[in-house]
Amino acid sequence: MSTKLCFNIKIVDFFSFYDIIFSMKRLYYKYGVMGSSKSAQALMTAFNYRQRGYNVALIKPSLDTREACEIIHSRIGLSSPCTTFAIDTDLVKLCSQIPDAQVIIVDEAQFCTSEQIDQLKELTFSDLTVLCYGLKTNFKGLLFEGSKRLFEIAESIQEIKSICRCGAKATMNARLKNNLVSIDGDEIDIGGDEKYEGMCYACWKKYQTTPLSDLEPNKKTP
């Protein structure tokens, strides 16, 4: 075996070992479009950690007003109490006040400020695991402030995949108004299935001018 090949194998082995040993000290980001089960996965992750004896803190920005203030709720019916925070909340201080927290799970992380994402990263230096769930882009296809910073500094980034009405992969968060996809308005306009739909880019563009009610979904193989 060549020296170069041996060296490469040792490098891979080292990072595999590093990954195992330090996997509990990371900032994770799991993102998807509207309706891709982000909140459900956040709640299931919390359940799994708790089953294994970890103390889990669920938190979310207070901007998310779709449900009762201090509840994380998913479309499939799962829900759990959580702690909410404002855009000026210091998340290091907030999480230090949660007794014996070992794992921090953040829902709707796209609404965090860049500074708050940096604070979540700082928490991982204190042997805390931080998992963020949220949208990648807004209804115009532009990164949210919080998601942008997560893409910049998170160690682990994973897409939660979903499909468009046509069967293709959904990548856009379409805001619906008068049976059309709207690209006008404020970035933050809280709503659920009545206002937003995950779409592929092609459908997102097409339905900006063609009313949704005029076309039947063209089913494809995902």
Residues annotated catalytic, as ranges: 108
Specify the pairing of strand 83-85 against strand 56-61. parallel
Query: What are the beta bridge partners of residue 80?
Result: 72
d(CA 75, CA 13): 41
b/e per residue 118-147 (b: at least 16 CB within 10 A): bbbbebbeeebbbbbbbbbbbbeeeebbbb
Q: State both tokens at 117.
A: 């994402």
Q: Where are the extended beta strands (E) located within 74-153?
A: 79-81, 83-85, 103-106, 129-134
Residue type, 99: P
Nearest by Cα to 26 from 165, 150, 197, 109: 150
